[in-house]
Chains A and B, each alone.
Chain A
Amino acid sequence: MRLMTLTRLSLLTILALLMLAVNPQANATDTGVRASEFKLSNGMDVVVIPDHRAPVVTHMVWYRVGAADEKRGSSGIAHFLEHLMFKSTDKIPVGEFSKIVGRLGGQDNAFTGQDATAYFQRVAKDRLGTMMEMEADRMVNLRLDEKEVLTERDVILEERRSRIDNNPAALLNEQMNAALYLNDPYGVPVIGWYHEMQKLSRQDALTFYKHYYAPNNAILIVSGDVTADEVKKLAEATYGKIPANPDISPVRHRPTDPPAIAPRRLELKDPRAGNFSLQRYYIVPSYVTAKPGEAEALDLLMKIAGSGSTSRLYKKLVVASKLASSAGGDYSGSGLDGGDISLYAVAADGVPLPKVEAAIDEVLADIAKNGVTDAELARAKSSFLADYIYESDNQATLARRYGWSLAVGRTVADVESWPDAISKVTADDVKKVAAQYFDLRLSVTGYLVPDQTGVAQSEEDLPPPSSDSVLR
């Protein structure tokens, strides 16, 4: 979004949303939530999720394109374009988009991930038609002025400083991803590498825009005080008038990783690190790439192993052995190319990181060898189902839940059969995925170490790098 980029840090959100993607049908009588879907004649997908409690709607358009679709060498262009989409069209003067939405009593924003880019407004329901007109207009009529583009490029560089360069933990995260993915574009940060962002141009943005922004590459999601019939009528009159782009391939091609044969390890020493901490990431399947039932088992595995103060990691490392002041982990299964597991711990005072790491490995090995208890599994399952009901209190959350799934090619039916799939997972399934996927060859481990001797470098002071081989 203009205020927030979904670097993969926000996969946490995605995870949360996926976790909540429980079958509305199973709870239809309880919650009144149930999505309906249809397609416009130009190929645009539409999902409607009614919630009539308040006279407001959430209107979102999702494009099936994200940072991982960028051309090599222009990292950050997906997110940069997202910012530029707020500039102007023939009908909307420069910088007026958000102001118009504001005058209509609405709130708007957008966000970019590795696999999707989404734009949204929250408005009173009688403004929905206007929002659709404006969103449909900028889907194809974006106008970019050279000077505006350069100014906005400075803004995303500041955004990068705020989110990444000012924060050693974020820098380590970026380095770890780059090491984890040998060839898959997930190794490149959503916001982009600084030296490539500096060179992004108006033409780069327009080329990306013209190729990827079209109704047949988009999903409309409307939740709130509205019916499917109302949405259909408005959508046909706005988005429905835009011709499809025949050049868009329905299949998204991504470079894939070769088999990994060596665990990767990194250590970042930074004077700005407040604590000794460590992280571990594993590449695992996502809901898109997993065999049936596997992703659900991974969800439950990480709920039990790493979620909150009742988790195995917290109980062993923080409560029992007191080696860490905090510890946990989770599974992110929303990616098109694959998913990941991440684990973390902050060392207790004076405890060396290798000792903490060994304790984490012991917890993982124990689950892989001895599995989880029936009580743990039951608690984890009921917790997922409860989350769903809680989240049906929030129409914006619901809209995102469907959006993330559909943007990577999953269907409304996939989303709505999730609770069934979760309930079918056995303790044996959980043990099996633990044994299979806690595989160090597919992992990266990173230490963040406070260092008083190092000097933080300011990227604005660095000479421009001569190649893109900064990290690898």
Chain B
Amino acid sequence: MHSFFCRIAAASKVASRSALAVTVAALSLILTISTSNPAAAMNIQKIKTPGGIEAWLVEEHSVPMMALRYAFDGGSSQDPVGKEGVANFLTAMMDEGAGDLKSEDYQERMEELAMRMQYEDSKDAIYGSFETLSVNRDKAVELLKLSVQSPRFDTDAVVRIRQQLLANLAYADKDPDKVAQREWYAQAFAGHPYARSSNGTMTTVSSITHDDLAAYHKRTFARDNLKIVAVGDITPAELGKLVDDVFGGLPAKADLIPVTKTQPLTGGGQQVIEMGVPQSVAVFGLGAMPRKDPDFLTAFVVNHILGGGGFSAKLMEEVREKRGLAYSVYTYLQPYQHTSIMLGSVATKNSAMAESLDIIRKELKKMADEGPTADDLAAAKSYLTGSYALRFDTDLKIAAQLLGLMQEGFGPEYVENRNKLIDAVTLEDAKRVAARLLKPDNLIVTIVGKPLGLKSARPATVQPAMAVPGRG
């Protein structure tokens, strides 16, 4: 039988979407950081529609389907104060009726056409994915257009979805992974929109109405903050018409609240949130360089060696392979539009969390002090360049990769150059950037569970996080 967890996450539409959003946010970043070189087999066309909207296209006619992936800048950092969770709420409402079609009619129509449409939110954007079989394309595009331009947000649907979102929040509140993640951001970005959970709180989600959703949609679904990639069985001319149909009717300009650049707090910090679980979960992280920093890609390579490279990574070697302290331990670089961080996680039985964190701190310091070895660097480069093509073997993956590049302001040529950029990283670079990136004193740690011998410790400079510590 399936696990209940899986069951709920997969079958409650809201839960599955939120889960997806998290995965996608993390993955797309990891993936888009480095793109590689299946460019040989892939022709990326930059098109401008008759209506003046830009889109990238990779034609692939051998499977009779197409995938569209698009993003509106904004995301949950645009949630008004007191209405936290509205972006996330909206992603669950996009198939709950549009135009003249009420929720049930819209969803049955989607099913008849075997059309797939999904929305996710991140801190910086709302993402949409659309897939259709070629044979149903025109009808599916009509349906997509309705949803993009005139979602209904009917009250009965709002009430229903709100209840699912509240149930998810209640569930997440008892999940040590989710609590640790949420509280890490609350601590690291106290006072900034990034401190707020994209899912909102019981209070804010309870207060979100039709008007809040409609207002958010009106402000953020526009043409000047829109990026689009299409992959599959469609020609440039057909795509031009499709894009104009679906998006041409949106306002020219989005009305976004300015978000300030920020950094996670420095000086470190450790927060323990008690929860009665046999295994504690820790989330740890610190500030990193922005995506456009000349050292970013080198930092990406260093992170791979330290904690990003699965079984080749130092943390995995020391915490899991040598000592059996954890099943999973990893780090990743997460550049946002207005900040950049390196984040990691480890889950260890309560009695061993202190030891695991000690080892992680030591490895961080060692990497900062000594940098990687020439062997480590060669292995990392070899993996990162060699595995690049694996990110481009399905239509959907290609679309997600390219959309990430577009959002980061790169051109299609990045795909061809990326492996050269990785190869150009020298040992000296890696050592210098490791020291620049990894400042163990700045490590912010959030632990959820009953970790033996660990207590909250706050540096004097830190304001208490918005969220209440000690819950759960």
A residues at B contact (CB < 8 Å): 2-3, 7-12, 30-32, 53-56, 86, 95, 98-99, 102-107, 122-124, 150-159, 161-163, 165-170, 172-173, 176-177, 180, 224, 271-275, 277, 279, 281, 306-310, 315, 318-319, 322, 325-330, 332, 340, 342, 344, 346, 348-349, 379, 382-383, 385-387, 389-390, 392-395, 446, 448, 455-461
Contacts and interface: CB of A to CB of B under 8 A. Distances in A.
A54 B393 contact: yes
B321 A151 contact: yes
B349 A158 contact: yes
Contact of B1 (A281, A307, A315): A281
Contact of B63 (A328, A344, A393): A393
Contacts of B312: 98-99, 102
Contacts of A448: 4
B171 A275 contact: yes
Given A152-B324, A273-B174, A274-B171, 4 more contacts: A99-B312, A329-B11, A382-B112, A393-B65
A401 to B, nearest CB: 14
Contacts of B310: 3, 98, 102, 107
B62 A32 contact: yes
Identify the 9 closest CB pairs spanning chains A and B, nearest first. Answer: A105-B386, A154-B324, A386-B114, A9-B3, A326-B12, A169-B4, A328-B11, A458-B278, A161-B279
29 contacts: A8-B1, A31-B64, A32-B62, A86-B311, A95-B311, A99-B312, A102-B382, A103-B382, A103-B383, A105-B382, A105-B385, A155-B327, A161-B278, A165-B278, A169-B8, A309-B107, A310-B108, A310-B111, A326-B8, A326-B164, A328-B11, A328-B12, A330-B11, A348-B163, A386-B133, A394-B394, A446-B4, A456-B278, A460-B278
A307 B7 CA distance: 11
Interface of B: 1-8, 10-15, 38, 40-41, 60, 62-65, 67, 95, 103-104, 107-108, 111-112, 114, 116, 131, 133, 160, 163-164, 166-167, 170-176, 275-279, 281, 309-312, 317, 320-328, 347-351, 379, 382-383, 385-390, 392-396, 450
A134 to B, nearest CB: 14
A166 B279 contact: yes
Contacts of B164: 325-326
A344 B163 CA distance: 16
B168 to A, nearest CB: 9
B1 A55 contact: no
B172 A154 contact: no
Contact of B174 (A272, A307, A390): A272
Contacts of B41: 53-55
A157 B311 CA distance: 18
Nearest to B322: A151
A98 B11 CA distance: 34
B386 A104 contact: yes
A385 B163 CA distance: 33
Contact of B311 (A102, A161, A325, A457): A102
Contacts of A322: 160
A176 B327 CA distance: 25
B11 A105 contact: no
Contact of A379 (B111, B276, B320, B324): B111
Contact of A326 (B15, B103, B394): B15
B313 to A, nearest CB: 10
B278 A166 contact: yes
- Give the residue among B108, B175, B311, B328 with the most A Cβ atoms within 10 A: B311
